[in-house]
Amino acid sequence: MARLAKTWMLTLRAPGLAVMTAAIIFGCAGQRASAGSCGPFGDPPATLISSPSPYCWGGRLLGPWKDSDGSPRYACIYEPEFATASNRLPLLVFVHPSLFPADSVKVTNLLGSLDSAELSDNPSKRGFILLAPEGRKTNHYYPFPDNSGYGWDNWYRQFNPSGDVTIGGTTYKENVDAAAIDHFIAQEVATGKVDTDRIYLTGWSNGAAMAFIYGLNRPNIAAIAVYSAPDPFGALDDPCQQDPVAARATDDRHIQVFNPRLSAMHVINSCDAAGICANAMRLTSRLRPLGVDLDDTIIDAFRTQVSSCLDSCGTNPNGDASTISNPGGAFFGLMNHVRWPSSWTPEMLDFLRRHPLNAHATTDSKRR
């Protein structure tokens, strides 16, 4: 019990344990969907528990705005005082991990760079606006206790930027979490303070997975730089895994993405929770053939860049949350996973700076 209490204290101090908390601690199985419930957009929409509001300490609360399910949605906005319509700044969207709210941005060092980071590729123009939308409390396809709570539904993959889609007489509503992010980005853009060539996403764990799948489907997103993302197209016990394709999907085993030329930086622990590193390598193998400009940055426990995942922390490309078959990932990986990689934040922000929306049409020399 003492070890269990110590583990939970670590979890509470370091938001970011968004993948397989109880599988790591208890080795328990999570909530599963039936393979028979799979459809053209993967799993059914997540079951809603509640739609909470964040505190937004040091920022400003946006909302409520009601999504298509009628649930109130919220976000936090943090703006430098010098962000104006005549001094437009980049917009960085932080997608929080599961089990923790939008206020978990405070655990990162992102807000410390709000007034000073150069995301505009212009030394005389520094700073950015940070938007932190709030997810909902829903069911997840993760083990207990992360089988429900704060998080993002990256399993129901109806992210078509046009909205609702009708297939075979059945209408599939747009993913409501994606629609909420759409709304709050549009609300901030409407102020005139945003450089719309520089709308970026970052995220942590389940939030990083959401940032990936959202960015891959929104042509207005220039780039993403995320930490420790499980594959949003299939990880662990998800029965409705799909392969992303750049063209129209021909069956339910595939899902079309609408922004396949996204630029992405993925910071991953060589020893990560639930075998995320091996799972992330599969994500890379799925995305690069589509044209995604994906930079995998693998780091060790000392936050030093290394060349590969540690086999002792999981080799299953689907991930491995078992304490028996993957004890390294279950314990050492957990310790790494719950720490935001603060020393890599400047590099993540610099990656974004080098990839504005029009970067796809520029030469590689502009990115150096």
In 67-128 the beta strands, taken as DSSP E runs, fall at 72-78, 89-95
77: closest CA among 228, 193, 174? Answer: 193
Taking every pair of Cα atoms in the chain, the longest distance, rounded to a whole number of angstroms, is: 58
Instruction: Tell me the percentage of the chain whose pLDDT exceeds 90.
Output: 79
Tell me: the pLDDT tens digits for 130-141?
Answer: 999 999 999 988
Residue 59, pLDDT score: 97
Q: Distance between CA atoms of 53 and 50, rounded to whole angstroms? A: 10
Tell me: the pLDDT tens digits for 13-40?
Answer: 444 343 333 333 333 434 445 556 899 9
Query: 22 Cβ partners below 8 Å, 6+ apart?
Result: 28, 30, 143, 144, 145, 146, 147
Report which listed range, 124-128, 254-258, 328-332, is most confident: 254-258
Q: Which structure tokens are listed for 108?
A: 């990162």
Do 277 and 269 contact (CB within 8 A), yes or no? Answer: yes
308: closest CA among 282, 279, 270? Answer: 270
Decide which of 22 and 233 is more confident: 233
Q: 356 exposed, middle or buried (CB, 10 Å; 0-12, 13-18, 19+)?
A: buried
CATH ID of 2-367, from 1.20.120.420, 3.90.190.10, 3.40.190.290, 3.40.50.1820: 3.40.50.1820
pTM above 0.85, yes or no: yes
Do 249 and 40 contact (CB within 8 A), yes or no? Answer: yes
Do 285 and 294 contact (CB within 8 A), yes or no? Answer: no
Could you write out the three-class secondary structure of 269-324? ECCCHHHHHHHHHHHHHHHHHHCCEEEEEEECCCCCEECCCCHHHCCCCCCCCCCC
